[in-house]
Amino acid sequence: MQTIGRYVVEGEAGRGSSGIVFRARDPIIGRIVAIKQIRLDDVADPTERQRIHERLFREAQSAGSLSHPGIVTVYDIQEERGSAFIFMEYVEGQTLEMLLPRKQLSPEQIRSILEQTATALDYAHGKGIIHRDIKPANLMVTPQGIVKIMDFGVARMQSQNTTHTGTLLGTPTYMAPEQIQGKPADARADQFSLGVLAYEMLTGNTPYKTDSVPALLFQIVTQPTPPARQFNPSLSATLEAALTRVLSKDPDARFENCSTFVRALSGDFHAVAHQVEQSLPTMAFLPVQIAPDYGPAFVRKQPPAPPEPSPSRFGLFAIILSIASVVALAVAAFTYFGTQPAPVVQAEQLPPLAIPESPKPSPEAVLPPLQESPVEKPEPRKPTVVEPFDIGVVEYAVRLITAPVGAKIVMDSGSPICTSPCSLTLPSGRHTFSASLSGHQSAYRIFQVPDQTELTVTLEKTFGKLSVITTPAGSEIAVDGVVKTERTPAMLTLPSGKHLIRITLAGHDPKEKEIEIHEGDLSEFRITW
């Protein structure tokens, strides 16, 4: 049974350009999680690999701080066997990338997807976190119609990851012009990507499409956006104007936020819905309405009323007969009541209505003014002061262990706090943890207190190369007192750190030298006897 960290892998959930997504189970609390693997061993430069390590941890830490029903939750992150593993909320459903080619989205469902995505993006932007890679593959749609954004925080590292030759990975169809130009990207870049999604769902085409990545980049940065009504004539001028604005090359010309953009679309959305709906069949799954706290969901459409049946000959005859019967009854009633005299009530039969006069009050009946009697006023009661009950911050003792011991521990991006193994008192909530030790890869974790009060991390060693050359060749090599099977010239792979190298050749005095091996570096020890 394969395990990644403490999680038991139950199967493969999907594959992508950056690695594999596994379905796994947390044996401690029984929770099902998704584990996304990001391969790091393909990066040959150790400095670049370490930079990716640190950036990945920072981004996952940011994503872990997001708590929104429209964003997939990040639980943990760790590195193992040359890969980074992101532990996330497991969501059943289909990505928008799977749904779009099938044209299974009704206008109401398109609007719901845009509204939910905009709400989640605005929440993240309010926390100062930008996704930077909004695209159909990163939007998961559940069978209940709930939209969840995936890869928050991780997406930036993947979308901007480059090979050692500097080649951009992936097709930037949904990237904003400022991202392609290498300028700082903010919330308006995510808004641009959301605009490309809206354009594609409403027209069936992306704004820019070429066979060449360089040509695509050139179009996004320099060419005007093709009119949306060129692909879908049923769209209103107002709706097309909103799409043109959100896809502006100038970030300042876009909307205030993502929700404002979607509201600009929704104003004219119903006007074209009945025209678009004829060419877009209903989705395969049944949408349901959910609580307001979870954002707008797909609206269940009411089934059309059945057509009224056309009347038959017998039905027409019955209708005519009924009308004739009603007319006959009306004539008979008029004839009967018209011949009867109406009763007359004589006015003299009614007795006169007697209204008694109100008696006038006599002067003697006037009451004297009321004399106030002295009343002793009670002393005011002093208000009871209730002291507020201060429960304080609940803290827990957390044990931190590394193998090997002696690693420097940093909590929540602060200064080094202790050297493992050590115990700390931490408040309840989510915390970040990093451990670093010379000659080993740094380890990063995200954990929850009090769910986890003991954390054990195994630090993997880093390696470098040592070239040993002697003249003449054939010398014996010993590293830290252990004789190697190789003879000079030899290329040794050694753990990072200091090593004592001893070279022996018959008829000559042994030679020793302490050499420090650095991760990914090539060192050399050359001797001429």
Active site positions, annotated: 133
Query: How far lies 26's CA from each of 77, 452, 487, in Å?
Result: 14, 13, 48
| CA distance to 54, 161, 442, per residue, from 51 (Å) | 5, 11, 11
Q: How many CB atoms lie within 10 A of CB 60?
A: 26
Task: Work out whether the CA dihedral 94, 95, 98, 100 comes out positive or negative.
Answer: positive
**Distance between CA atoms of residues 380 and 361, nearest Å:** 44
How far is CA 407 from each of CA 85, 135, 419, 422, 458, rounded to the nearest angstrom?
21, 40, 5, 10, 10
**CB atoms closer than 10 angstroms to residue 300:** 12
Spatial contact of 99 and 283, defined as CB atoms under 8 Å apart: yes
Closest CA to 470 of 494, 487, 454: 487
User: At 526, is the secondary structure helix, strand, or coil?
Assistant: strand
Token pair 């827990």 in the structure block, residue:
396
Output the CA–CA distances (angstroms, integers) from residue 188 to 56, 117, 134, 249, in the order listed.
22, 14, 12, 11
Q: Encoding tokens for residue 209?
A: 């499409």
Let me know: does 436 contact 406? Beta carbons within 8 Å: no
Provide Rg for the chain, Cα atoms: 40
SS3 state of residue 264: helix
| Dist. CA 478–CA 513, nearest whole Å | 11
Q: Pairing state of beta strands 139-141 and 147-149?
A: antiparallel
CA distance 75 to 25: 13
Asked if residue 292 has a cis previous peptide bond (ω within 30° of 0), the answer is no
Residues in the chain: 529
Distance CA 312, CA 384 (A): 84
Closest CA to 121 of 99, 142, 138, 97: 138
Query: Could you tell me the sign of the dihedral formed by the alpha carbons of 416, 421, 425, 426, in that order?
Result: positive
Packed helices 187-203 and 237-246: angle between N→C axes, nearest 10 degrees:
140
Question: CB of 432 within 8 A of CB of 61?
Answer: yes
Cα–chain-centroid distance for residue 51?
24
Q: Give the bridge partners for 497, in sequence order.
A: 517
